[in-house]
């Protein structure tokens, strides 16, 4: 097992814990600003998850293309969080 595989497994566990905890909180705090913030966090974590696990396609896609896809998903996650946070703070 390579170091990259161990790191991917560790981050997968962390992502699953975050998604599980915030999904339970989303059910409990549905509606209002807290519900919106929880949804923002869930979408951001899902986009970051996709960005981290694009590396699975390293056999199929070029490394430069994987880096571009990873950067796009990370940028999308942070942009979504910033825009959504501004909308929640505005309301």
Please state, in angstroms and rounded to a whole number, the distance separating the CA atoms of residues 73 and 57. Answer: 15
* pTM of the predicted model over 0.95: no
Closest CA to 48 of 74, 10, 85: 74
Q: Where are the domains of the chain?
A: 3-90
In this prediction, residue 30 carries a pLDDT of 83
CA atoms in the 13 A half-sphere facing the CB of 61:
13
- Note the pLDDT tens digit of each residue in 45-90: 999 999 999 988 888 999 999 999 999 999 999 999 999 999 888 8
Question: Can you list the alpha helix ranges (DSSP code H) found in the chain?
Answer: 3-28, 32-52, 63-90
Backbone angles phi and psi of 79, in degrees to 5: -65, -45
CA atoms in the 13 A half-sphere facing the CB of 83:
8
């Amino acid at each position: 097992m390579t170091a990259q595989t161990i790191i991917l497994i560790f981050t997968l566990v962390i992502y699953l814990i975050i998604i599980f905890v915030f999904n339970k909180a989303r059910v409990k705090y549905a509606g209002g600003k807290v519900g919106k913030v929880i949804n923002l966090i869930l979408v951001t974590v899902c986009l970051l998850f996709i960005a981290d696990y694009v590396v699975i396609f390293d056999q199929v896609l070029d490394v430069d293309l994987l880096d571009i896809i990873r950067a796009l998903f990370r940028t999308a996650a942070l942009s979504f969080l910033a825009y959504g946070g501004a909308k929640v703070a505005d309301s």
